[in-house]
Amino acid sequence: MRERAAKSNAKWRTLSQLRTATLLLGVITLAACTTVPYEPPQPQPQQPGPVTQGPDRPVDPRTPEPVEPVEPTVPEETVEIPIDVPDEAAPYFNNRDGLTLPHMAGRDTKRLALLLPFSAESSRLREEANAMFQAAELALFERPDPDVVLTVLDTKGTPEGARSAAQAAIQQGADVILGPIIAGNVVAASEVAGRTGTPLLAFSNDQSVAARGRYLLSFPPEAEVERIVQFAMSEGVTRFAYFGPDDPYGRRVRAAYEASVNRMGGQVTAAETYRGNDISVMQEPAQRLAEFHRQSRNQPFDAFEAILMPEAGTALRSLAPLMPFYGVDPDRVLFMGTSRWDDTSIAREPALDGGVFAASDKQARANFDASYERAYGNAPLSLTSLAYDAVLLGAVVADGDPRGRVERTESPLGFYGTDGYLRFGPDGRPERGLAVYQIRQGQFVVMDPAPRGPAPES
């Protein structure tokens, strides 16, 4: 045990030393090193390779309202972009391969560029960027093959910064660009990357910016809504209600909810919203919803059999008890939520006992969380695992003929990573393997496990 602990400590000391060992062009460049002990996490990612994101994946409040997507071109052959290389970095570059570190000369190197907002105005965004960098670093040094160069660039949290970072990445020979986070920055970076057919594996959850060549690793709430509606209908539910916030997230969820229910042959019979997160603004709409349900009790059918409440934290703990208080019986009506419910404090709320929600595969994520905390001494943040899987997936996409990068990204088999199964469609949107969980006596119990691969063809 002591010997293993000593090896583990040595591993992270080596990693810490290497993270700042090489500075070129004002960016951090990392490369896998054969001297770092490799201890693969269990279970191993399935072929053809892994991908990411975490158990609690609410909409990122930093992501702006949807922007007009710009379709990047994906040429059959890459286009030369002039490279402006400072004198001190010139020994590491050549016109054919781009950036090559001395100890990797002659290898079949896969070059990845990670674009994150390290100097953004938002402190939360800077904190997320640093945690994502650490996760990418962890993925690099847990790879068994020392064949990846990872260049880390600062987008400054602005479209201009993202565009400049993407330009630098292309100049340095990046095969795949990982990031950025913010929707507008993703579009800006793709305008540069699209000229050379370099794929982006971005972290925004704004599906309007997805496109071919511009793929989103995130957990869009639309997918969570569709998964929970599918589950409810498999349990015989056909009439649905909505009770949630009138804010960008709530409106987005409500639109997806109504679309999913209608598409699957159900009906949304009632909807109530509120502004703010205080119980005082929730009481009146809760009463109206409960009264509508009460009036149907003598009818052949209840007004609704399930209700979606896409809230989180303190607001949800205020909202949920209002339903039974005003007469909506949780034994007759299924309470449903999004991944915002994936919070241990929520599980202790009595009104939510028996409620269900859709979220990522906790079993797949557990090994990453433990490895990250062991390496850095703290738990990962909400987007951290995306960066880990982005490095692993990026290495798969970069491995082979550059003209096949898009096809490899859109593999019909998909990928399996720290947050379970993922597959990209030709539109760049993620198809995530989500599980359905039930809150039962303060615990999360799997009601319908996450798929580990693509759905069988009908």
The verdict on residue 455 lying in a domain is: no
Name the more confident of 363 and 114: 114
Do 28 and 146 lie in a common domain? yes
Do 9 and 118 lie in a common domain? yes
Does 445 have pLDDT greater than 90? Answer: yes
Residue 30: the pLDDT is 62
Do 156 and 259 lie in a common domain? no
Does 179 have pLDDT greater than 80? Answer: yes
Number of domains in the chain: 2
The answer to whether 132 touches 120, Cβ cutoff 8 Å, is: no
Does 43 have pLDDT greater than 70? Answer: no
Measured between alpha carbons, how far is 222 from 237 in angstroms, rounded to an integer?
19
Least confident range of 27-31, 37-41, 82-86, 99-103: 37-41
The domain that contains 306 carries what CATH number? Answer: 3.40.50.2300
Does 350 have pLDDT greater than 50? Answer: yes
Residue 41: the pLDDT is 33
Containing 184, the helix (H) or strand (E) segment is helix 183-193
Instruction: Read off the tokens for 442.
Output: 């303060």
The answer to whether 32 touches 140, Cβ cutoff 8 Å, is: yes
Residue 147: the pLDDT is 87
Least confident range of 18-27, 34-43, 187-196, 259-268: 34-43
Do 213 and 227 lie in a common domain? no
Residue 213's closest CA among 183, 192, 188, 190? 190
The verdict on residue 453 lying in a domain is: no
Containing 137, the helix (H) or strand (E) segment is helix 123-142
The verdict on residue 173 lying in a domain is: yes
Do 48 and 113 lie in a common domain? yes
Name the more confident of 288 and 35: 288
Do 228 and 213 lie in a common domain? no
Residue 293: the pLDDT is 95
Do 133 and 176 lie in a common domain? yes
Does 214 have pLDDT greater than 70? Answer: yes
Do 61 and 150 lie in a common domain? yes
Instruction: Read off the tokens for 4.
Output: 């293993």
Residue 141: the pLDDT is 86
Measured between alpha carbons, how far is 38 from 141 in angstroms, rounded to an integer?
7
Mean pLDDT of 117-136: 96
The verdict on residue 131 lying in a domain is: yes
Peptide bond into 43 cis (omega under 30): yes
pTM: 0.76
For the chain, the average pLDDT equals 81
Do 411 and 325 lie in a common domain? no
The verdict on residue 457 lying in a domain is: no
Mean pLDDT of 106-126: 90
Mean pLDDT of 408-434: 95
Do 321 and 277 lie in a common domain? yes
Least confident range of 48-52, 72-76, 127-131, 165-169: 48-52
Mean pLDDT of 159-165: 97
The verdict on residue 454 lying in a domain is: no
Mean pLDDT of 183-188: 97
Does 210 have pLDDT greater than 80? Answer: yes
Measured between alpha carbons, how far is 11 from 33 in angstroms, rounded to an integer?
11
Percent of the chain beyond pLDDT 90?
69
Residue 107: the pLDDT is 58
Mean pLDDT of 151-165: 97
The verdict on residue 20 lying in a domain is: yes
Which residues constitute the domain of residue 53? 2-218+363-427
Does 48 have pLDDT greater than 70? Answer: no
Does 307 have pLDDT greater than 90? Answer: yes
Residue 244's closest CA among 302, 295, 289? 289
| Per-residue CA distances from 181 to 63, 88, 117 (Å) | 8, 31, 8
The verdict on residue 51 lying in a domain is: yes
Do 286 and 407 lie in a common domain? no
Does 7 have pLDDT greater than 90? Answer: no
Residue 457: the pLDDT is 58
Dihedral sign, Cα of residue 264, residue 452, residue 416, residue 405 = negative
Mean pLDDT of 188-193: 97
Name the more confident of 55 and 187: 187
Does 174 have pLDDT greater than 70? Answer: yes
Does 21 have pLDDT greater than 90? Answer: no
Does 64 have pLDDT greater than 90? Answer: no
Do 298 and 350 lie in a common domain? yes
pLDDT level of residue 339 (50, 70, 90 thresholds): very high
